Amino acid sequence: MVEYIARRVVLLIPVLIGVSLVIFLSIRLVPGDPAEALAGEFADEEYIAEIRRIYGLDQPLHVQYGMFMKRALQGDLGRSILSDRPVLGEVWSRFLNTLQLAFWAVLLATIVGLLAGVISATNPYSKFDYGSMAGALLGISMPSFWFGLLLMAFFSVYLGWLPAGGKGTAAHLIMPVVTLGLTGAGLIARMTRNTMLEITGSEYITTARSKGLASGKVHYVHALKNAMLPVITVIGLQSGYLLGGSVITESVFAWPGLGRYIVEAIKLRDYAAVQGSLLFFALTFAVVNLTVDLLYAIFNPRVRYGGSGE
């Protein structure tokens, strides 16, 4: 296990270098000059040139990239052009807000999705099965921004029960968590149902039933445990996506998270903020994927992490 983790960490290095290069070049394709945006509309060329020099924007691209990577390896993601504060501090504070939102959204999606999927699988082609799978399909297909606006219109504008946006109390979490959790719950429910139905037809499940094991033990111990591998993959992908910042939902509810921060940085052509945020997102997603791989061993003893990479 230790050897596997070490090997994955080493392989992560070229991946992050490649991601950093793509991010560095992509942000510079955005039209506009960040120095001009910072200087203001009526600034003269001399002042704009001084800003470019201060932030290293007057250097060739390969020199700028080298400076960016050198600082990143030292834990310094640079300074935001517009706020003139360290990017790492701003990214971390917003990541904690996104982490709070993502934790409750993933928890809601996992509980609702697993319950709906297991009950549907144990009662296939019942009214509950048809209803839950229709709801799951609706949750997957419905645009998150539209659903978020519906919740806002009903619970904030019409009923006045919940705050429309921002961060402060537990009430501010309810609508964005439900908005984000809906899609995840639908994916988990469909995956759980389909995988459990496939597994319940396996020979070892038939053997367990023939031995007189209780139906609940067969479904909730043997079948569910073996069905968890693809479900864990879905949960891991959802977690990585949410930890990277749910751009639309955070924007709709004015949640001060990482996704909203990235959008604002792109609009303002804040190179350091965009580069640092996306690199942090890539690292977070890689860590989530590694965690998912390690969880495979818990739910499937056949998974081994030997030197062969199996």
What would the pLDDT profile of 81-115 be if each residue is shown by its tens digit? 777 788 888 888 888 888 888 899 999 999 999 88
Listed residue (232, 129, 250) closest to 184, CA to CA = 232
75 falls within a domain = no
Residue 216 has pLDDT above 80, yes or no: no
285 found inside a domain: yes
In a domain, 69, yes or no: no
- For 262-305, where are the E strands, in sequence order? none
Whether pLDDT at 310 is above 50: no
Helix, strand or coil for residue 14? helix
Instruction: Quickly state the pLDDT bin for 10 (edges 50, 70, 90).
Output: confident
Q: Tokens 């609706």, residue?
A: 138
Global pTM value: 0.77
Work out whether the CA dihedral 19, 23, 24, 25 comes out positive or negative. positive
77 in any annotated domain: no
Residue 249: pLDDT over 80: yes
Q: Are 225 and 205 in contact (CB under 8 A)?
A: no
Residue 228: name the closest of 85, 105, 114, 88 by CA: 114
Q: Which two tokens stand for residue 78?
A: 């640079």
Taking residues 142-163, report their average pLDDT. Answer: 87
Give the range with max mean pLDDT: 78-92, 126-140, 198-212, 219-233: 126-140
- The CATH number of residue 107's host domain is 1.10.3720.10
Please give the pLDDT value at position 118.
86
Strand partners, 79: 86
Q: What is the pLDDT of residue 298?
A: 66
The reply to whether 158 falls in a domain is: yes
Question: Per mean pLDDT, which of 168-182, 187-201, 246-260 is the most reliable?
Answer: 168-182
pLDDT of residue 111: 92
More confident residue, 30 or 148: 148
Q: For residue 307, tell me if it sits in a domain.
A: no
How distant, in Å, are the alpha carbons of 25, 26, 69, 83 from that of 65? 9, 12, 6, 21
The span from the CA of 12 to the CA of 46, in Å, is 43
pLDDT of residue 107: 92
Tokens of 219: 């479904």
Residue 305: per-residue pLDDT: 54
Q: Is residue 155 part of a domain?
A: yes
Domain range for 105: 87-299
* pLDDT for the residue numbered 27: 80
270 in any annotated domain:
yes
**What band does 209 get if pLDDT is binned at 50, 70 and 90?**
low
Q: What is the tally of structural domains in the chain? A: 1
Segment 31-39 mean pLDDT: 73
CA dist., res. 305 & res. 292, Å (int): 13
Measured from the Cβ of residue 285, the count of other Cβ atoms closer than 10 Å reads 18
